Copies of this chain bind each other. A is one copy, B any other.
Amino acid sequence: MVDALSCFSFIGNFFGVLPYNAAWPSLIAEATEAEIEPLVLAGVLLSLITVYLAAKVGGELCARVNLPPVLGELLGGVIVGVSALHLIVFPEGAGETGSMLMELVKSTSSMDSEGLLAVFRGESEVVSILAELGVIILLFEIGLESDLKELIRVGPQAAIVAVIGVVLPFALGTTGLIALFNIATIPAVFAGAALTATSIGITAKVLAEIQKLSSKEGQIIIGAAVLDDVLGIIVLAVVASLAKTGEIQVQNVVILIVSAAAFLVGAIFVGRLLSPLFVGLVDQMQTRGELIITSLIFAFVLSYIAATIQLEAILGAFAAGLILAETPKHKELEEQIIPIADMLVPIFFVTVGARTDVSVLNPLNPDNREGLIIASFLVLVAIIGKVVTGFAIFGQPGINRLAIGVGMIPRGEVGLVFAGVGSASGALSESLEAAIIVMVILTTFVAPPLLRIVFKDSDSIPPDDEVQVVASTPSEEQPTTS
């Protein structure tokens, strides 16, 4: 009955338990879990409705003007987020003002403002975690559609792209900031470090949309982006310890390098050994969801391990996808993961857009100008430093070098980690922080359409089928159950 779900809390511990919704508010004074949870659910439902509307309207509009749908999801997020409609906002930092959706929740309940803040925080926490599960599922799906053997084959090329794509922007950015803008060494190093990142999520999503994920270029980009992620973690550790103590803690850096290498190599080798066991187990199971649940357990275990050893959860999910891609179950699994990805992945991209405050791009605000000038330099370095990486590839005649470089451009969320750590350590000035944000926004939003253009230059892609990439594979489906 009325919000009965929130009342499971009563089982086993309902002495002192309270009414479960706002209909009988006078029975108690203070807002509790049992009162708050139905409102959190209402807030989450409203948020998901908003996220899906933004994703679909944005995605469809972009698809119609031949831009990548993921760009539409990001832009849809910007519209509903902190920059415009304030429907999807998060209570981080100073501004705990609540969202417009929370006003709607408030208007339908008699909760006090303290309780509403708890509801808002709970709702934001849930939406944030759903977004993170979304990108975990995305990378799991990308792993499933990747080819481990091909990745290993293009490994040397990917490594070159990754290393150059880290070293060059870092060197150009840091020295340029010092030489041209008279910025001190530590902040310049932070800004330089922010230039090294690549957002694997955005690039992989665009590659999937234009059906280039399994091309040689696509696999080099994915391999390089994964290595870039690992390199980024190391660069961050170095820079953070530099900012904190003025020197580099070699021991920490070595631990990180060893654990990252051990995880990626170990996960893939142990995973490949265990995968026949996985297939046998799934074949033995009789209840519904045997394949998807077993796969999710595997993906979540690797994600958890990766997160715990200070790598990223998404690296674990990608490794899990790569391993399961080699089992005879992969076609069936790919099909089953599609609706789950369709449900969760847009939450990720829309919330990325929603959290982006595009007001720092406004040149009419005098406070933004210094940042915008530095930003122009950073954007230039960010694009050049990654685009040239493709031209360093050897022994691959006819490969689309420009496409590989362009694929590495988007900084996405990743560049902001540096800015965040830099900001917390007090190393960055406000204008330099703003410049990094602008660089991240521009590289993230400009890369998807660019990536389409450079891939179209070299070979013709069927013009309108690209949007249903993964959904189009089931036609080749064959019964894989042994």
Contact = CB atoms under 8 A, between A and B. Distances in A.
A123 to B, nearest CB: 9
Contacts of A423: 10, 14-17
Contacts of A38: 307
Contacts of A125: 37, 40, 122, 125-126
A340 B143 CA distance: 20
A292 B339 CA distance: 7
Given A17-B420, A91-B33, A53 B340 contact: no
Instruction: Assign chain A's interface to a size class.
Output: 35 or more
B467 A17 contact: no
Given A288-B469, A346-B289, A307 B41 contact: yes
Interface string A285-321: 1111110111011001101100110111110000000
A478 to B, nearest CB: 15
A232 interface: yes
A2 interface: yes
Contacts of A301: 49
Contact of A63 (B1, B8, B286, B359): B286
A162 B169 CA distance: 70
A455 interface: no
A461 interface: no
B126 A352 contact: no
B27 A313 contact: no
A312 B421 CA distance: 44
Contact of A18 (B126, B337, B420): B420
Contact of A355 (B11, B312, B357, B421): B11
Contacts of A40: 125, 129
A420 B20 contact: yes
Contact of A236 (B2, B34, B69): B2
B94 A13 contact: yes
A344 to B, nearest CB: 9
Interface stretch (A54-62, A178-186, A270-278, A395-403): A54-62
Interface string A355-382: 1111110000000000000000000000
A470 interface: yes
A155 to B, nearest CB: 20
A313 B5 contact: yes
A413 interface: yes
Contacts of A151: none
Contacts of A342: 288-289, 292-293, 336
A128 B37 contact: yes
Interface in A448-475: 464, 467-471
A464 to B, nearest CB: 7
A414 interface: yes
A233 B287 contact: no
A9 B355 contact: yes
Contacts of A307: 3, 38, 41-42, 45
Contact of A417 (B1, B132, B351): B1
Interface string A410-454: 000110110111011100001001000100100000000000000
Most buried by B among A10, A63, A292: A10
Nearest to A297: B52
Interface string A96-109: 00000000000010
B356 A12 contact: yes
A260 to B, nearest CB: 10
Contacts of A95: 13
Nearest to A21: B310
Given A12-B355, A14-B433, A293-B342, 18 more contacts: A1-B197, A9-B92, A10-B419, A11-B413, A12-B437, A13-B82, A16-B93, A16-B424, A20-B420, A27-B244, A38-B307, A52-B296, A59-B287, A69-B287, A108-B308, A286-B467, A288-B467, A340-B340
16 contacts: A1-B229, A1-B312, A2-B233, A3-B313, A8-B131, A9-B90, A9-B93, A16-B94, A16-B424, A18-B424, A21-B310, A53-B297, A64-B286, A288-B470, A289-B341, A336-B342
